[in-house]
C-alpha cells in the first residue's frame, strides 16, 4: 500500500500509518455557514448532514481504521459553540458508533477543542508529529523536526485550487492536490540547526484540497496569489498539481 493514496474523485486519501489504515481529510470547517453569515452576510442552509455522510461513506469505501483531519475541523477561530459544536458532536457520535477513532492535527481554527470535547479525540500539536512513515501537520506553522523526518509530510490549510481556462476564454476553478519534494535548507534554517544534522529523507509534501465544498482556496496558478503556509513556496523544491479525479496538470505554476 502506498503511504498516501488519494481516493479517486474525492478530496481525501488513505494513509499507511504503521499498522493502521487511515482516511485523511483536511479543512472540514464545521459550522462554516454560521461563519459565512457573520463574515460575509451570506445566508446558506447548513450542509452539516451532507458533510457527515460524505465522511461516513468514504470510511466505508476505504475500510479505514481511523479518521485523520489535517486541521480546521472547526470553522470559527474562537472556542467552538452553537451550531458548529453541535455539528462536530454529531460527527463524533457517528464515528463512535462506527468504532472509528478521530485524530486531529491542530489547525489555526481549532482553538479550545480540548475544553469543549475532552477525551473524545486525539489532538496533535500545531507543528505536527510523525506516525509511521507519514508526517501529519495542518500547515499554519512550520513543521517540527519530527514531522519532517518522515518520508511523506501531509498538510491542509492551503485549500489549493487551480483556475482552468479553455480555448474560447471560459474558465472554471477546481480543487487540486499539490505534491512535490521539500527543500531542506529553509527548514534547517528555521529550526536553527545544521542541515547535515537533520533526520532528512528527501520528504515529499502532499497538500490536501479542502474537504468543505463551501470554503475558498489558494489559486496556486494565478499570479499575485500568495500561499498561506509560512514555509511555502520557499520550502518546496518543486510541486505538481493534480485534480481530484487524478488528472495530472504538471508544475502548478504552469497550469
Domains of the chain: 4-254 (3.60.21)
Please name every residue paired with 165 in a beta bridge, in sequence order, or none if there are none.
Answer: 171
Whole-number Å distance between alpha carbons of 190 and 101: 33
Of 143, 73, 148, the closest CA to residue 108 belongs to 73
User: What's the pLDDT at 77?
Assistant: 56
Per-block mean pLDDT, blocks of 10 residues, the chain (255 long): 90 95 96 70 78 97 97 75 84 96 93 83 95 97 97 97 81 92 96 90 96 87 88 95 95 89
Whole-number Å distance between alpha carbons of 64 and 231: 31
Whole-number Å distance between alpha carbons of 165 and 145: 40
User: What's the pLDDT at 124?
Assistant: 96
State pTM to two decimals: 0.93
Q: What is the DSSP letter of 48?
A: H
Stated length of the chain: 255
User: What's the pLDDT at 196?
Assistant: 86
Amino acid at each position: 500500500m502506498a503511504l498516501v493514496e488519494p481516493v479517486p474523485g474525492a478530496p481525501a486519501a488513505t494513509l499507511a500509518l504503521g499498522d493502521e489504515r487511515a482516511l485523511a481529510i483536511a479543512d472540514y470547517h464545521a459550522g462554516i455557514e454560521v461563519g459565512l453569515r457573520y463574515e460575509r452576510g451570506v445566508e446558506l442552509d447548513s450542509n452539516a448532514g451532507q458533510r457527515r455522510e460524505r465522511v461516513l461513506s468514504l470510511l466505508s469505501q476505504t475500510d479505514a481504521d481511523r479518521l485523520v483531519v489535517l486541521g480546521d475541523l472547526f470553522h470559527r477561530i474562537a472556542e467552538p459553540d452553537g451550531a458548529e459544536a453541535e455539528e462536530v458532536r454529531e460527527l463524533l457520535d457517528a464515528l463512535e458508533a462506527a468504532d472509528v477513532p478521530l485524530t486531529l492535527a491542530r489547525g489555526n481554527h481549532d482553538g479550545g477543542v480540548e475544553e469543549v470535547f475532552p477525551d473524545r479525540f486525539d489532538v496533535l500539536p500545531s507543528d505536527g508529529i510523525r506516525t509511521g512513515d507519514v508526517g501529519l501537520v495542518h500547515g499554519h506553522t512550520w513543521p517540527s523536526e519530527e514531522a519532517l523526518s518522515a518520508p511523506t509530510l501531509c498538510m491542509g490549510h492551503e485549500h489549493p485550487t487551480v483556475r482552468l481556462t479553455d480555448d474560447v476564454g471560459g474558465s472554471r476553478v477546481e480543487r487540486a492536490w499539490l505534491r512535490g519534494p521539500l527543500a531542506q535548507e529553509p527548514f534547517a534554517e528555521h529550526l536553527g540547526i545544521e542541515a547535515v544534522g537533520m533526520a532528512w529523507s528527501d520528504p515529499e509534501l502532499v497538500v490536501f484540497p479542502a474537504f468543505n465544498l463551501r470554503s475558498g482556496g489558494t489559486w496556486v496558478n494565478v499570479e499575485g496569489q500568495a500561499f498561506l503556509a509560512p514555509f511555502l513556496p520557499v520550502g518546496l523544491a518543486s510541486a505538481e498539481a493534480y485534480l481530484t479525479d487524478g488528472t495530472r496538470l504538471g508544475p502548478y505554476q504552469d497550469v
